[in-house]
Amino acid sequence: MAAVSAPASPGARFLFQPLTGTRTADVLLVAGGAGLTALCAQIAIPVPGSPVPITGQTFAVCLVSAALGLRRGVASISLYLVLGLIGLPVYSDASSGLHVVLGATGGYLVGFVLAAAVMGWAAERGWDRTPLKALPVFLLGQLVIFGLGVPWLAVVAHLDASSAVAAGFTPFLVGGLVKGALASALLPLAWRISRRN
């Protein structure tokens, strides 16, 4: 946990930074972010013809990553991934286990960690302060998730590229835009409320 408690780089700021600084505070923030992601994962809508459901996970990853910054955001989403791996029912539809991560949706789950790094890094540099700046960051984060999730789906489900895109990307475009827009409205609002922008 020492890496989580390490200070951010000079000039880096993120929403929950004033709450950090002690090991206990950092652990609580990281655990809270993992808990929020697990809760949002239970919002799952099946997509006909696809093994990948529409979930609230990506929305939670956006919020957690930006609010906690690079190190704590990655730690939080990594903790979420590990909790599911060891058997806690935190993935979508209360699923868990190695078979989920090695299955059709595993690439998306692993992609959450990479996306958390991208969005946390951008948030520390002020890209979550206004909706116009935040929206591209949150959309990029989701593209990172799809960038790993779709090829993983293709390999696991034995799909060609166009079929994988049709099953693992196209049905989620509108939802991704909505989740990105919602996150890009909430984070700047939180900054204004905190009066630290």
Q: What is the DSSP string of the chain?
A: -HHHHSPPPTT---TTGGG-SSHHHHHHHHHHHHHHHHHHHT-EE--TT-S--EESHHHHHHHHHHHHHHHHHHHHHHHHHHHHHTT-S-SGGG--SHHHHTSTTHHHHHHHHHHHHHHHHHHHTTTTSSHHHHHHHHHHHHHHHHHHHHHHHHHHHT--HHHHHHHHTGGGHHHHHHHHHHHHHHHHHHHHHHT--
pLDDT above 80: residue 91:
yes
What's the CATH number for 2-7+17-194?
1.10.1760.20
**Whole-model pTM?**
0.89
pLDDT digit string, tens, across residues 41-75 = 999 999 888 889 889 999 999 999 999 999 999 99
pLDDT digit string, tens, across residues 109-148 = 999 999 999 999 999 999 999 999 999 999 999 999 999 9
Domain residue extents for the chain: 2-7+17-194
